Chain A
Amino acid sequence: MQRPGRAGSPAPSPAGRAVPGAGLQLPGCPAGCRGAERPRTAAAMAWRAAPRAAARLLRGRRGIASCIDPSTGLTEDQKEFQKVAFDFAAKEMAPYMAEWDEKEIFPVETMRKAAQLGFGGIYVKPDVGGSGLSRLDTSIIFEALSTGCTSTTAYMSIHNMCVWMIDTFGNEEQRRRFCPSLCSMEKFASYCLTEPGSGSDAASLLTSAQRKGDTYVLNGSKAFISGGGDTDVYVVMCRTGGPGPKGISCLVLEKGMPGLSFGKKEKKVGWNSQPTRAVIFEDCVVPVDNRLGAEGQGFSIAMQGLNGGRINIASCSLGAAHASVLLAQEHLTVRKQFGEPLANNQYLQFGLAEMATRLLAARLMVRNAARALQEGRQDAAVLCSMAKLFATDECFGICNQALQMHGGYGYLKDYAVQQFVRDIRVHQILEGKRCSYYKCSGSGIRRKTALEAPTFPQESDSWVSEPCSALGVRCAVCECLGQGLWLCGSRGRYLVGYFKSLTAEEDI
């Protein structure tokens, strides 16, 4: 890509016609580069400007009075929470988002400031320092914070998830020991489930925890742990019993425990404001008092944590998409081609309208799932899966389209839109790859279409897949089929095959 020439030597335009607003010329473009300046959108200028100026200009991301205004339909309280989160994001996060990404800084002080406002344990009970808010309130808050820096907000959501797990499944002593310092973000937490050999198939994890007196000795390793190495508290799913989900327990480890070490910091496409490392256990000794819940309950705890985690990650995607739509809108009004602003171009107008529509649809799905979860409805888990699947996909598409609308500028790191695209790409992958949603949602659909259930052997427990039962969807087949059914390919055919195998009552 050619950069605009510096003033003083504009190339002569072959057609002899002034090309207004021509800045970056891509190879193959007939008109010569006139050395004109880049579109002076407020957001672009502010991107590298002093924090205060940036904050003022970037506050436009609050999305004032438009059809995608994220505050429609909210209660007065929720609007207040959202306002605080937007203000915090615009002032404390947005001006530094690029720097944190470029220098891979884990913004500890900024997150602690957020925790002072109550963002450290949003849905944790107040008696241990949490804010005691609902899932919907949490979704709204993360969506707003994400407009400032998606990567940091995503880490904060993981942290919140861990604190909630300790708050909900820990006994009084554990809650008092861990939650207050986590809610204030004096200490940070990481969620350790994934291993090199078990990602989607989380129930097959291998990290072992052998009981020795009143301790567990852990051996194994976890991969792709957000915050790993920099955080203080690790919520680890490990195997205390037999194979499958029922043999998994949940232990809380602290940095500094002998035998706990970390791998190298991974280099990532996005999410650079949070470190990602492997977590390694070599004869790591953990007191039994650090176990959350009962032995064998670990997988259920992990999955229930993930329900909320999925809404939170989806909410982070919503925030990034919202910010991207506003950035695209601004760019279209400023950038001129063919003698008029891009905003007069019907194709782009339609594009913007589509982006707004998809954003609204995604937001409604996420908020609906959040409501279902906080009401404890039976279909909550499937709704969370579906919402996460839909919202992360749609929002990535929106951010990508916004980047496209920026033209060549969208590809430059001077402009924020590329960071949103990079940061939310991983939301489609983690906290449950898309495929597993198809699996679980497919199972849910199967139940709801009330097909004839196959007859199970009498030892029906081993036929019920724990992950799906923990999610509230009883799948009779994934366990026995081993890898389950991945429907990311020819979706329709797999579903049909699935149903056929059931009605045929195959003896598996």
Chain B
Amino acid sequence: MAALRVLVGVKRVIDFAVKVRVAPGGAAVQTQGVKHSLNPFCEIALEEAVRLREAGAATEVVVATLGTKASQETLRTALAMGADRAVLAELAEGAAAGPREVAVALAALARRLQPQLVLLGKQAIDDDCNQTGQILAAILDWPQGTFASRVSLEPGAVQVQREVDGGLETLRLRLPAVLTADLRLNEPRYATLPNIMKAKKKPLEVVPAADLGVPAGPPRLRLLQLQEPPPRAGGEKVESVESLLGKLRHAGRI
């Protein structure tokens, strides 16, 4: 069987169960001392890649991330889930990256590693950008299948079922292609204890982000301000439907 390498991009994000707080200054959230973990959609993408390899459709799964040194723990989790090797595109401590920077790094890795398929999560749960996969496909000039809820590989192509606003859409894309995973694609496995221990021995390569062409300096997307939603104001009870409609009109809601 011809070698079919899958590159999976993952992101280290604040754990979904954490109650996020806005940092003083209002331009970021508090990340110091807060628990981080693998982005859930990236987990789903990784699970799909590992399943493809186990089914024999793929031969190798490489997981990669753009981040600081702390992202190594995320890569170890990914290796424990079944990836074969990992690459960290390392940013300096304190540096940030947006979707564009990540896409540039992944594109450089794709040119190096020559995967037939790149799998990403549809979005990260910290910024909810939903851009990286699309930008990456544009940079590489590869076809893209986003919001994938079903993936099946065929010789030289991949069939993707996408969840779109109108319902489900099925596309056939020529390989190499970029796919982004949606929630219902699969249910990620738990890492087993033996796999966690095996993950220690799997290779983890560290590459400076600049070597991959990631521009130095602040990311292209700048977060201006974060604020909590206003506290819920009291409601008002009305006596009749007419007065309800009147009040809604008055408030400009209808």
Contacts and interface: CB of A to CB of B under 8 A. Distances in A.
A80 B35 contact: no
A365 B194 CA distance: 28
A84 B76 CA distance: 13
Contact of A84 (B16, B19, B35, B193): B193
Contacts of A80: 76-77, 80, 191, 196, 199
Contact of B192 (A64, A77, A117, A126): A117
A118 B192 contact: yes
B35 A118 contact: no
A110 to B, nearest CB: 13
A77 B197 contact: yes
Given A65-B34, A80-B77, A80-B80, A131 B18 contact: no
Given A60-B17, A64-B15, A64-B17, A122 B193 contact: yes
A76 B194 contact: no
B73 interface: yes
A424 B191 CA distance: 29
Contacts of A117: 190-193
A76 B73 contact: yes
A326 to B, nearest CB: 11
A64 B196 contact: no
Contact of A64 (B35, B77, B80, B191): B35
A79 B80 CA distance: 12
B69 interface: no
B17 A59 contact: yes
A170 B47 CA distance: 39
A81 interface: yes
A459 to B, nearest CB: 49
Contacts of B76: 76, 80
A133 interface: yes
Interface residues of A, number: 24
Given A60-B17, A62-B17, A131 B193 contact: yes
A138 to B, nearest CB: 10
Identify whether the interface residues of A are mostly helix, strand, loop, or mixed.
Answer: helix
A119 B193 contact: yes
Given A65-B35, A76-B76, A117-B190, A81 B17 contact: no
Contacts of A131: 193-194
Most buried by B among A65, A81, A126: A65
A506 B19 CA distance: 65
A84 B80 CA distance: 10
A198 interface: no
B29 to A, nearest CB: 13
Contacts of B192: 84, 116-118
Interface in B1-51: 15-19, 33-35, 37
Nearest to A122: B193
Contacts of B15: 62, 64
Interface string B84-123: 0000000000000000000000000000000000000000
Nearest to A126: B194
Interface in A271-294: none
Contacts of A64: 15, 17-19, 34-35
B193 A133 contact: yes
A87 interface: yes
Contacts of B202: none
Contacts of A81: 193, 196
Contacts of B73: 76, 79
A88 interface: yes
Interface in A27-86: 56, 59-60, 62, 64-65, 69, 76-77, 79-81, 83-84
Nearest to A63: B35
A81 B15 CA distance: 17
B133 to A, nearest CB: 25
Contacts of A87: 190
B33 to A, nearest CB: 5
The 4 closest A-B pairs by CB, nearest first: A118-B193, A64-B35, A131-B193, A59-B17
Interface of A: 56, 59-60, 62, 64-65, 69, 76-77, 79-81, 83-84, 87-88, 116-119, 122, 126, 131, 133
8 contacts: A56-B16, A64-B15, A64-B18, A64-B19, A77-B197, A80-B76, A81-B193, A119-B193
Given A77-B200, A117-B191, 13 more contacts: A56-B17, A62-B17, A62-B35, A64-B19, A65-B33, A65-B35, A77-B196, A77-B197, A80-B196, A80-B199, A84-B191, A87-B190, A117-B190
